[in-house]
Amino acid sequence: MLSKHFESQTKKFEEYIAVCEKLGKEPNLDKLPMDSVYYPYEVQVALIIHEALPDRWDGTSGSYMGKDWSCVDTYLDAYEVEDTKTVLLFIKVLDVSYSNTINESMNRERKRKDSQGNKFVPKATI
């Protein structure tokens, strides 16, 4: 479900439920966009901390490498997290899912640009 968090940014949970009600259909759990308020407290804190961690990018390939975890202890202390193991686990799951989503999106964009090709159109000489 956490991976859906990054994939369902365009839909809201309430909107999906309202559409299902209007159509008289049962909500499909596989298509259900999730809003962070419906997650357990530890997941909500993990989402907040994950969002606050700085991103790391590979300078040569431009690939997304995940979050910089060097300051995670500061955030755990600031939010007075008691169950650090659970929150860290959720942050790691979020990091992997977010990294995959970013890199897949970048790969699709690269393929789209490659399929368009760098069509060289020479300028007319005068």
The answer on 92 and 51 residing in a single domain is: yes
Q: Is residue 92 part of a domain?
A: yes
Strands (E), 21-95: 55-57, 64-67
Number of domains in the chain: 2
What tens-digit pLDDT sequence spans the chain (126 residues)?
555 555 554 456 677 778 888 989 888 877 766 667 778 899 999 999 999 999 998 888 878 888 999 999 999 999 999 999 999 999 999 999 888 888 888 888 888 888 876 555 556 555
Residue 50 shares a structural domain with residue 82: yes
Report the predicted TM-score, pTM, of the whole model to 2 decimal places: 0.65
Report if residue 124 sits inside a domain: no
In a domain, 110, yes or no: no
